[in-house]
Amino acid sequence: MMKRILWLALVWVIALPLWSEVKNTCVECHQQAEEEELRVPVEQWKTSIHYKGGISCSDCHGGDPKQEDEDLAMSEETGFVGVPEDTEIPDFCGKCHSAVRDNYMQSAHAEALLADEDGPTCVTCHTAHEQQRASLDLINEDLCGTCHDYDQALRLKEAMRAMEGDLISMEARVEALFSEGLDVESEQRALFAVRNRTHRLTHVLDIDRILLELGSVRADLMKLDSRVTEQENIVRNRKRVGTILIVFFLLAAVLARMYYHSLKEEYLKTHGGGGSEEPPTQSS
C-alpha cells in the first residue's frame, strides 16, 4: 500500500510540471470558441514558424496562459494586449525582433505609418499569425504593388539578390568545411552576423543607403572569404597528404610482395625444390 502511494506521488511530481507546461488555456479556450475571429488565429498560428519555435499566444499578447477563467487569463495586470493599434505593431513584434524593428523605423514605410498614411506594418507583409521563414520572395507584385508601383520594390529585390547569392555560396563552403571535421565555429559566427546584417537591411528600403551598407557588409564577407579559403587549403593539403600516403603504402606492399617472391624463388633454387610447393623437410 505504502509503495503504491509512493509510486503515485512520484508520478505526480514528474507529471505535474510537464502537464502545466503543455497546458495553455489561451489555445484550449480559443480553439473551441464559436466565433470564427477567435478560433481562426489558433489554426493559423499552428502553421507558423512561431509555433515551431515554441512562441505562443501569450508571448505576443501577454496574459496568463494558466488561468482557466477568461477575465483572469486576459487581465490587464498580466500585461495582456488584445489587438494592438497599427502604430503599436512595430514595438509589439519588436520586443523580440528589435534589430529588424530599428531598421524598419528608419524606413519610408514607418514614416508613412506614423504620418497616418497607409504605411505597411510588420503584419501587412508577414501576417499576424501565419509568419513563415522570410526570404526575398516576399517581395512580389501582389504584395508590393498594392500601394505603389512595383518598380522601386523590384530594384530593392535585385540589389539584395546579388548579396543573397554570395551568402548562400559562402554558407555551402562553411558547411563543407564543417563536415570535413574542421573547427569552423568562428567562421559560422561571422557568417551569422553578416547574414543578419543583410536580411534586416531590407527593411530600410532606401536603396542608396542599402547599397552603401551592403558595401561594408561585403567587406566583412571578403574577410571571411580569405579565412575560409585558408581552411579549404588545409583540407586540400590534408587530402593530398592522404593520397600520397595511400600511394606510398600500396607501393610498399607491392615491393614487399615482389621481394618475398624473389626470396622464395631463391630458396627453392638453392634447396632444389624443383617447382614443388611443399617446403622441404628438415631431414632431407
Q: Per rule CB under 6 A, is residue 210 in the interface with ligand HEC?
A: no
Nearest to 131 by CA among 211, 36, 29, 60: 60
- 89 touches ligand HEC by CB under 6 A: yes
The yes or no reply on residue 147 touching ligand HEC (CB under 6 A) is yes
Chosen residue from 41, 174, 190, 191 binding ligand HEC by CB under 6 A: 41
Buried b (16+ CB within 10 A) or exposed e, 87-112: eebbebbbeebeebbebbbebebbee
Residues whose CB falls within 8 Å of the CB of residue 45, separated by 6 or more in sequence, listed in order: 51, 57, 129, 130
Among 15, 53, 243, 257, binds ligand HEC (CB under 6 A): 53
Q: CB-wise, 151 or 265, nearer to ligand HEC? A: 151
Query: Under a CB-based contact definition with an 8 Å cutoff, are residues 130 and 48 in contact?
Result: yes
Determine the interface stretch with ligand HEC among 83-91, 228-236, 260-268, 271-279 (rule: CB under 6 A).
83-91
Contact between 92 and ligand HEC by CB under 6 A: the answer reads: yes
Whole-angstrom CA distances from 278 to 268, 271, 273, 275, 281 are 10, 12, 8, 9, 9
| Using rule CB under 6 A, residue 100 touches ligand HEC | yes
Among the listed residues 57, 82, 60, 56, the one whose alpha carbon sits nearest the alpha carbon of residue 71? 82
Determine if 45 is a binding residue for ligand HEC (CB under 6 A).
yes
Residue 198 vs 231, nearer CB to ligand HEC: 198
**274 torsion bin: left (phi>0), alpha (psi -120 to 50), beta (else):** left
Burial of 221 (0-12, 13-18, 19+ CB in 10 A): buried
Site residues (CB under 6 A) for ligand HEC, limited to 63-82: 63-65, 70, 73-74, 82
Closest-CA residue to 196 (of 159, 167, 157): 167
- Selected binder of ligand HEC within 177, 184, 202, 224 (CB under 6 A): 202
156 touching ligand HEC, by CB under 6 A: yes
Instruction: At 64, list the grid cell.
Output: 496568463
Which one of residues 160, 170, 174, 210 is an interface residue with ligand HEC (CB under 6 A)? Answer: 160
- Select 128 or 224, whichever has its Cβ closest to ligand HEC: 128
Q: Which of 122, 170, 210, 214 binds ligand HEC (CB under 6 A)?
A: 122
Question: Is residue 124 involved in binding ligand HEC (CB under 6 A)?
Answer: yes
Window contacting ligand HEC (CB under 6 A); options: 151-159, 225-233, 238-246, 265-273: 151-159
Residue 173 near ligand HEC by CB under 6 A? no
Task: Please say which residue, 195 or 231, places its beta carbon nearer to ligand HEC.
Answer: 195
DSSP class of 80: -
Return the residue matching grid coordinates 617447382.
275
Stretch of 12-20, 45-53, 213-221, 269-277 lying at the interface with ligand HEC (CB under 6 A): 45-53
Residue 37 binds ligand HEC (CB under 6 A)? yes
- Check residue 197 for interaction with ligand HEC (CB under 6 A): no
The grid coordinates listed for 225 are: 572569404
CA dihedral angle for residue 7, residue 8, residue 13, residue 18, rounded to 10 degrees: 110
By CB under 6 A, name the one of 174, 194, 205, 221 that touches ligand HEC: 205
Residue 140 region, left (φ>0) first, then alpha (ψ -120 to 50), else beta?
Answer: beta
